[in-house]
Structure 1
Amino acid sequence: MAIIKPFKAIRPAKDKVSFVASKSYQSYSRRELNCQLSYNPFSFLHIINPGYKYSKSVSGQERFQLVHNRYLEFLEEDIFLKDGNPCLYLYQVENEHFSCCGLFCGTSVAEYQNNTIKKHEDTIQRREKLFADYLNTVKFNAEPVLMTYADDNNIGEIIATEKESEPEYRFTTTDSVCHTLWVISDTNTIHSLQTAFKAIAALYIADGHHRSASSNLLAKKLQEANQSHTGKEPYNFFMSYLIPESEIHIFEFNRMIKDLNGLTKQAFLVRLDAVFRITNRGATLYKPTKKHHFSMYLDGEFYSLYLRKKVFDFTDALSALDTQILYKTVLEPILGIHDLRKDKRIRYGHGKHNVIKMKDEIDKGTFTVGFGLVPTNISEIKAIADAGLVMPPKSTYIEPKLRSGLTIYEL
């Protein structure tokens, strides 16, 4: 079963919420970041970039402590307010092309440990420890883990009813996304949602593997240090955003490679021919349309690559994944790329216009060859997670990308 926990969220004052909520720090260009920090004193970016106040670059424990200090200042100045009772928070994100609605709640570290909360990505221990140390110092969690669950009529009906009430927040950000948040404070409704989620067999992490792993690491550390540990302490849970499978959007990452690993174009195509049926599609932009079908851009031309049925064995869910197929048939054996995270000869791209960007990068000589894939689907993600397997890096680009600072979970 899936446990969801209401919590007393720290939230922006209603008149300041549109100024507080921020995109992830990494998504801002340097110019955008400086603009936000210079002209928006309410931005959550001031908390996670605390050195700006002193025109100083800070890192490590010094930064963590200053983040905590900036957070306290936002509370002292009533930019942030704390709910008096534990609540669940219904949050909808929508624009012209996209809509999803889900719950901010606490999810259980114990369920992460027993695999009721399922993973499909590897995490890096150094990053786990770094973020666990960060959480231990700042004492709050402002970036929820995005999880998905099988569509459920009972949950859907409760959510639909709640959406008929007046929201706490409704605002539109400069990227034309409308954000709406309802506070679910009624104890009967909370109990109904908790009961409905108990019928959900598993939650699947879509985005936030390092955040959940770090929360788990911190919980173990604090449990060992707490002789009066009960299992009900805030550190036994971490903030998540749960949406049904039908509302998650998954996009692909393309792969761009700097060279052909010493091969000529002709020799490279001959090597590919052993594994794929190859068709030259000319200079017109071309994208693959189905599984085990890839596009390639090389020397000013697009090619379609269809996997030959009898040359590659599907032994499990991972082996049937297109990112794994491309790795095992092309990137590793032909192009000599063994470490998909660290090899500097490969770069990944995503986005609506990424085929054009990939073509431009190759045409100007930054890269030599590029590969396009169809998006991984939710069934593949679940099959990988259920089998305890791990996807290759950059197998999925998942939306929604959540704003920071809308609801904060105190540890």
Structure 2
Amino acid sequence: MAILKPFRGLRPVAELAQQVVSPPYDVLDSEEARQLTAKNRYSFLRVTKAEVDLPSDIDVHSPQVYRQARQTLQQLMRDGILLQDEQPCFYIYKQQMGDHCQVGLVAAASVAEYQQNIIKKHELTRPDKEQDRVDHITATEAQTGAVFLTYHADRRINRLIADGMKAEPVYDFTTEDGIGHTLYVVSDPAKIQAIEEAFAQINFLYIADGHHRSAAAGRVADACKGNNPNHTGQEEYNTFLTVVFPHDMMYIMDYNRVVTDLNGLSPAEFLERAAEKFTLVPSCGGAVKPGKPHAFGLYLNHGWYELAAKPGTFAADHPVECLDVSILQNNLLHPVLGIEDPRTDQRIHFVGGIRGMAELERLVDSGKYALAFALYPTSIEQLMAIADAGQIMPPKSTWFEPKLRDAMVVHLTPLAEYLHRNKE
């Protein structure tokens, strides 16, 4: 069963919501965040990237940054910019990006179910990024960024969510990137119970994005449990902030690659090596955006090529090896370009599909990169199949859009008494 609970959300006052909500902490660097907060003092980036209010040369993982995040969050609450709902609620979060609409439930998910793999994973986490989220949660006593979950779409849940959207939204605005954000509050006890019972019939949830946030919540919960002789399992630290979407609303874009050099090969030699595992045809019509699985676009020397993986060059029945990111890595990036581990190799970089094909051309034409690869998007069904098989996806396999905005709803998790530290 999938345990989702209502909680007393901390939210911006309606008249400032559009100014407060911010892009996720991990899609901006510090300088970009400084530029945004310089123009908007209410931006929640001052909590999620608190270094913006400290000297520019500060280590972003220093204790001072996390203390600053705590102080800013508390100031926003004292000033009445963020207010906590009086009773536990569910929240319905609708996003509109062009013709694409997705509607998810904002809820508190179970740490225990995450640890028991009822909430399934498909990525490895990096210790440094995981520790960053642990430090941020413990300093702020809040979960400020939601974990993006999905589940096999269910008609009963669809009806309940649609019913919740009959109410007047508390927020309805469009951010500077053209994406619409609408939030509804579900406070009626009968409706809350119906939603809980409907999700209890869902066998598994799947992490789409947010492996570090969920892993960090689990570590914090374990620490609190170990220090709480009266642990009941009902404490707020036993849950983590999530937005849960049905799988048929998920939109995954291509996640493309650029490489700095040809590993000592000339362009002609590289194309000859690539042709061993791929059919290769020069494009006469400009940029090559793949229209089907196992097809790729290659940009090299101001020209595009169409690539297609030859039959027999990959394991078509293996959930990971049949991914286009695996085919490219195993048949070209590693054996030809010498990129053994794309997680750590500094010669390869990744470009979200939201930036378009022109960005790939720009990066290569700048001289900073030698070539670019355009990929067909991984499907949500592939992601779920890999999680079901207990496998791990290659790095940078999925780029979800639209991104969830931080501070639409924040989950407060009182921790000080369990972690044996004094509030500041």
2:146, 2:243 within 8 Å by CA — same for their partners in 1? Answer: yes
Partners of 2:66 and 2:140 within 8 A in 1: yes
1:7, distance to aligned residue in structure 2 (A): 0.3
Please report the TM-score for the alignment, with normalisation by the length of structure 2.
0.92
Matches of 1:34 and 1:307, distance apart in 2: 44
Does residue 305 of the first structure (1) align with residue 307 of the second (2)?
yes
2:300 is aligned with 1:294: no
2:379 equivalent in structure 1:
377
**Alignment match, 2:42:** 42
Matched, 1:258 2:260: yes
SS state at 1:15 partner? helix
**Comparing 388-397 and 306-315, the one that deviates more:** 306-315
Question: 1:163-174 to 2 correspondence within 5 Å?
Answer: 163-174=165-176
Distance 1:30 1:231, change over 3 A: closer
Structure 1 residue 143, shift from structure 2 partner: 0.6
AA of the residue aligned to 2:181: H
Partner residue of 1:7? 7
Kept in 1, the 8 Å contact 2:319–2:382? The answer is yes
1:242-282: CA deviation from partner (whole Å, max 9, x where unpaired): 11111111011111112221122232222222211221224
Q: How far 1:53 sits from its partner (Å)?
A: 4.8
Q: Identify if the C-alpha distance between structure 1 residues 283 and 256 changes in structure 2 by more than 3 Å, giving closer, same or farther.
A: farther
User: 2: distance between equivalents of 1:103 and 1:222?
Assistant: 27
1:40-91 per-residue CA deviation (whole Å, 9 max, x = no partner) reads 3322123334455565746422221221111111111111111111110011
RMSD: 1.9
Matched residue count: 411
- 1-structure distance, mates of 2:292, 2:49: 43
Q: Distance in 2 between matches of 1:273 and 1:23?
A: 41
Q: Deviations over 1:157-192 (max 9, x none)?
A: 111111111112222222222221111011110111
Deviation sequence 1:307-332 (CA, Å, 0-9, x none):
11123333520011110111000011
Aligned to 2:104: 102
1:194-273 matches, within 5 Å, as: 194-273=196-275
Which of residues 108, 122, 125 in structure 1 aligns to 2:124?
A: 122
Q: What does 1:9-408 correspond to in 2, within 5 Å? A: 9-28=9-28, 33-50=33-50, 52-53=52-53, 57=58, 59=60, 60-282=62-284, 284-314=286-316, 316-408=318-410
Distance 2:334 2:262 in 1: 12
Alpha-carbon distance between aligned partners in 2 of 1:236 and 1:120, rounded to the nearest angstrom: 22
CA displacement at 1:25 relative to structure 2: 3.7
Which deviates the most, 382-391 or 11-20?
11-20
User: Contact 2:97/2:402 (CA < 8 Å) preserved in 1?
Assistant: no
**Aligned-pair distance for 1:98?**
2.4
The alpha carbon displacement at 1:361 in A equals 2.3
Distance 1:30 1:403 in 2: 17
Q: Write the distance in 1 (CA, Å) between the matches of 2:280 and 2:39.
A: 54
| 8 Å Cα contact 2:262/2:337 also seen in 1 | yes
Indicate the larger mover: 31-40 or 280-289.
Answer: 31-40
Contact residue 256 and residue 353 of structure 2 kept, 8 A: no
Contact 2:110 2:238 in 1 (8 A): yes
SS of the residue 2:296 aligns to: strand
Amino acid of the structure 1 residue aligned with 2:141: K
What is the TM-score of this pair, normalised by structure 1? 0.95
Percentage identity across paired residues of the two chains: 36
- 1:272-314 C-alpha deviation (Å, 9 max, x unpaired): 2221122122472222211111121222322222211123333
Return the alpha-carbon distance in structure 1 between the equivalents of residues 163 and 83 of structure 2: 26
Aligned mates of 1:104, 1:406 — CA distance in 2: 9
* Greater alpha carbon shift after TM alignment, 34-43 vs 300-309: 34-43
Which ranges in structure 2 are unaligned for 5 or more consecutive residues?
Answer: 414-424
Q: Conserved in 2, the CA contact under 8 Å of 1:167 and 1:181?
A: yes
Q: Tell me how far 1:364 sits from its aligned partner.
A: 3.4
Report Cα offsets for 1:342-365 as digits up to 9, x if no partner.
211111112345322212322332
Name the SS for the 2:376 alignment partner.
coil
- Relative to structure 1, the CA distance from residue 97 to residue 308 in structure 2 (aligned partners, 3 Å threshold; closer, same or farther) is same
Q: Secondary structure of the residue that 2:353 maps to in structure 1? A: coil
Distance 1:262 1:28 in 2: 33
Return closer, same or farther for 1:32/1:122 CA change in 2, 3 Å cut-off. Answer: closer
Q: 1:127 to 1:290 in 2, by over 3 A?
A: same
Which stretch of the first structure deviates more once superposed, 152-161 or 173-182? 173-182
| CA displacement at 1:24 relative to structure 2 | 2.3
The verdict on how the C-alpha distance between 1:152 and 1:333 changes in structure 2, with shifts beyond 3 A counting, is same
Larger CA deviation: 167-176 vs 102-111: 167-176
Distance (Å, rounded) in 1 between the aligned partners of 2:207 and 2:5: 17
| Counterpart code for 1:42 | Y
Shift of residue 30, structure 1, vs aligned partner: 6.6
Cα separation, 1, equivalents of 2:162 and 2:131: 39
* Ranges in structure 1 where 5+ consecutive residues have no aligned partner: none
